[in-house]
A and B are shown apart, each in its own frame.
Chain A
């Protein structure tokens, strides 16, 4: 907690593979190293990674045992391997994370709507708009599973604490409020197959609706009555805004740029998951080491989640439409795949600096990314973060919920939308 997260992450990366992430990336200049020390195979790397990805997708996602073997084959360092093995043996009957958390999440959206109490009909319908039960609710899912895993770890069996249930709800509210504002900032007109709030009601009202959801979340948070929890989740709100500000600028220097990208990813996505996990830990346990495990799991899963999201921006929809959305490029944002591709194709540098604003930049950048192994490298990086998440969560006492959290890292990596 004390050191900035990226320093931790860097420390972690240097302990795991001798050249640090950034140095390795630069030295390889896109041609070979990156994971050059890897003992897991030989042969042309791109092909290898591609086939690994394909296996991943075709395999039954519910079968953890096979996926753990897959993990093992990919692992780089022995320490990670050993803890991953431990997980495989810890529990025989495995449940789907969604099924496991279902009973805790059935009333989620109804509870949220009750928090959004407002007499004016129109404002109410704006606030409820995205709480229609069609979202993935991945944050509440993680929070609920983490809370149960931590309760068992702390020998407090039984139901979720009311405060923990509230955190699950608040995490989804904060997330939604930030989505509503992001859509205005990005000028998006579609989200989850619906027209965005700004598209239907205009920008002014959309911003107010976002503010209202945030104030309701903040009230619910205060009502839990634990000031430490309030502090932890207020930090998220600040991180979300700072992350958004970080998206405004581009860095000239390549190493800086990657660090900037990962830091932004933490603030915009991982901070909410990490700090929500920490908050449910604070509510049941007084041991700071346990809080740190919960936080580290959330942080690593969160970053992996966003890295995969950035990859999907290039790959998803490609099969159906023949063309990816490349929404990030259109917004002028250089995400993981582009940053990696830039090491192979320095031509991208100028485009990144002008935020893909010249005619044809978006198409050209997209071509470069597909010709490079930026997608594979980003996927690989996401796997590394998931490994770390597994390593962290494996320190808790075994429980079905703990194993479901491990399963979630799988789902994060294999999702295709």
Chain B
């Protein structure tokens, strides 16, 4: 049955040909992929079956069928669906994987409790596996909701409005569907503290994405005073909070104490921030480029750069990078950023977060799972 759904989703892909941008994959080097695939072996089977169940549900097959109609349009849902296919093949569900590795590294519960060691599979409690899946569901739901298009900003030259309305409808519904499944899955974990924690992570995620939107409009970029602290706050909300709180919740589910929960949270937080910096740095560190890579003007290296050179100089550089048609020449801007210390500052910050993450898991007993977590934390500083 899975191939059936897959082929349906693939139909959407084939017509537009090559994928341009996947919201799912990180553009990381092959080193990263190796670290991840090694780690997946440690946790036994990588995921429980919740996302599979979602993928096979009538509702999502329905969406998949409708998404076909979007082929040839510009709606972002198309890219997200495409990424989903790629991703389930590559098993790049980083968040779920980290939750599972931490669960295994922390080991069985020390409290006398209802949790039985024999329930564990590959050293992980079933509830922790479900949590890992829920984390992925929530992450995916927001990838979908991120792709909602503002219809008033849509001009006819971009394509028919009807397509966008339809795409939005599908995106709202499928995102809501994934979130609803996450909600019922959470309730099944039988722990209201975990429900509260993960719900608050959803709230953080929303705020982060909302903030992300506000920062992406260019005019605001040019005027408002932005700095690295703001970047970090935003990166935490839109990427870090979910992983950090899921890691903490995994400890809570195994009845580990407050200190273990704090360390797990810390690992998740610093790992995501480091990973985020790594992604932001990709356009600036890749040497051989066939075409100039687009990058966000709010990505970490640019933020450092802007802080270093000051508002006035930054405006000048933006002006210089403008083409005749008043568009930005990104390769020119890239060179400008590279010529200063912005990139190396971002690399330093990336190393800092990597070290903080490593530091956090030293308290857990040495194990295969802990080594995998160390490898992942180290891999985010490799470019």
Does A248 have its Cβ within 8 Å of any Cβ on chain B?
yes
Contact residues of B between 173 and 208, Cβ < 8 Å to A: 173, 175-177, 179-181, 183-184, 186-188, 190-193, 195-196, 199-200, 202-203, 206-207
Which residues of the partner chain B approach A234 to less than 8 Å between Cβ atoms?
Answer: 183-184, 186-187
Q: Is B59 an interface residue (CB 8 A)?
A: yes
Cβ distance B242 to chain A, nearest Cβ, rounded Å: 11
Quick check: is B149 within 8 A (CB to CB) of the other chain? yes
Q: CB within 8 Å of B: which of A214-246?
A: 214-216, 218-219, 221-227, 230-231, 234-235, 237-238, 240-242, 244-245
Q: A205-B213, A244-B173 are in contact. Are A184 and B148 (CB under 8 A)?
A: yes
B 133-170 binary contact with A (CB < 8 Å = 1; else 0): 00000000010010011111100000000000100110
A266 within 8 Å of B (CB atoms): no
**CB distance A120 to B199 under 8 Å?**
no
B206 partner, pick from A184, A215, A223, beta carbons under 8 A: A215
Chain B residues whose C-beta falls within 8 Å of the C-beta of A245 in the assembled complex: 58-59, 62, 173, 177
CA A120 to CA B196, docked complex, whole Å: 21
Tell me, yes or no, whether A204 is within 8 Å of chain B by CB. yes
| Structural contact, A221 and B195, CB atoms closer than 8 A | yes
Q: How near does chain B come to A77, taking the closest CB pair, in angstroms?
A: 37
Q: How far is the CA of A230 from the CA of B180 in the complex (A)?
A: 13
Asked if A212 meets B187 with Cβ closer than 8 Å, knowing A204-B213, A244-B173, the reply is no
Interface of B is mostly: helix
CB of A161 closer than 8 Å to a CB of B: no
Q: Which of B172, B175, B186, B214 has the most CB of A within 10 A?
A: B172
Closest residue of chain A to B209 (Cβ to Cβ) is A208
Shortest B91–chain A CB gap in Å is 27
Q: Tell yes or no: B211 within 8 A of A by CB.
A: yes
Report whether B196 and A184 are in contact in the complex, using a CB–CB cutoff of 8 Å. Answer: no
How many B residues, CB 8 Å from partner?
45
Determine which of B148, B179, B187, B202 lies in contact with A204 in the assembled complex, contact meaning CB atoms within 8 Å.
Answer: B148
For A221, the closest partner residue in chain B by CB is B195
Say which residue of A203, A218, A219, A222 sits within 8 Å of B168 (CB atoms): A203
**B210 at interface by CB-CB < 8 Å:** yes
Q: Which of these, A123, A207, A219, A226, contacts B172 with CB under 8 Å?
A: A207
Flag whether A181 is at the interface (Cβ < 8 A): yes
A122 in the interface, Cβ–Cβ < 8 Å?
yes
Is the beta-carbon distance between B179 and A214 smaller than 8 angstroms? yes
Q: Is A211 an interface residue (CB 8 A)?
A: yes
Residues of A within 8 A of B200 (CB): 215, 219
User: Contact: B192 with A216, CB < 8 Å?
Assistant: no
- Could you say which of B169, B188, B203, B213 contacts A219, with CB atoms under 8 Å apart? B203
What is the count of residue pairs linking A and B with beta-carbon distances less than 8 angstroms?
133
Q: Is the Cβ of B206 less than 8 Å from the Cβ of A212?
A: yes
CB distance from A44 to the nearest CB of B (A): 44
CA distance A120 to B237 in the complex (A): 12
CA A244 – CA B59 in complex, angstroms? 10
Answer yes or no: A202 CB below 8 A from chain B CBs. yes
Indicate with 1 or 0, residue by residue over A105-144, a CB within 8 angstroms of chain B CB atoms: 0000000000000111011000000000000000000000
Residues of A within 8 A of B165 (CB): 187
List of A residues within 8 angstroms of B152 by Cβ: 202
A118 in contact with B168 (CB, 8 Å): no
B187 & A230 in contact (Cβ 8 Å cutoff): yes
B176 touches A218 (CB 8 A): no
**In the complex, A164 Cα to B62 Cα: how many Å?**
38
How far is A208 from B144 in the complex, measured between Cα atoms in Å?
11
A207 contacts B202, C-beta separation under 8 Å: no
Is A185 in contact with chain B by the CB < 8 A criterion?
yes
> Using a CB-CB cutoff of 8 Å, which residues 73-122 of chain A contact chain B?
118-120, 122
B191 touches A227 (CB 8 A): yes
Q: Which residues of B contact A119 (CB under 8 A)?
A: 207
List 18 contacting pairs A-B, 8 Å CB cutoff, sorted by A. A118-B203, A202-B151, A205-B213, A208-B206, A208-B210, A208-B213, A211-B142, A211-B202, A211-B206, A219-B196, A219-B203, A227-B191, A234-B184, A234-B187, A240-B180, A241-B173, A241-B179, A242-B180
Q: Which 3 A-B pairs have the closest CB atoms?
A: A222-B196, A202-B150, A218-B199
Besides A205-B213, A237-B183, 6 new A-B residue pairs in contact (Cβ under 8 A), listed by A number: A123-B206, A215-B202, A216-B203, A234-B183, A241-B173, A241-B179
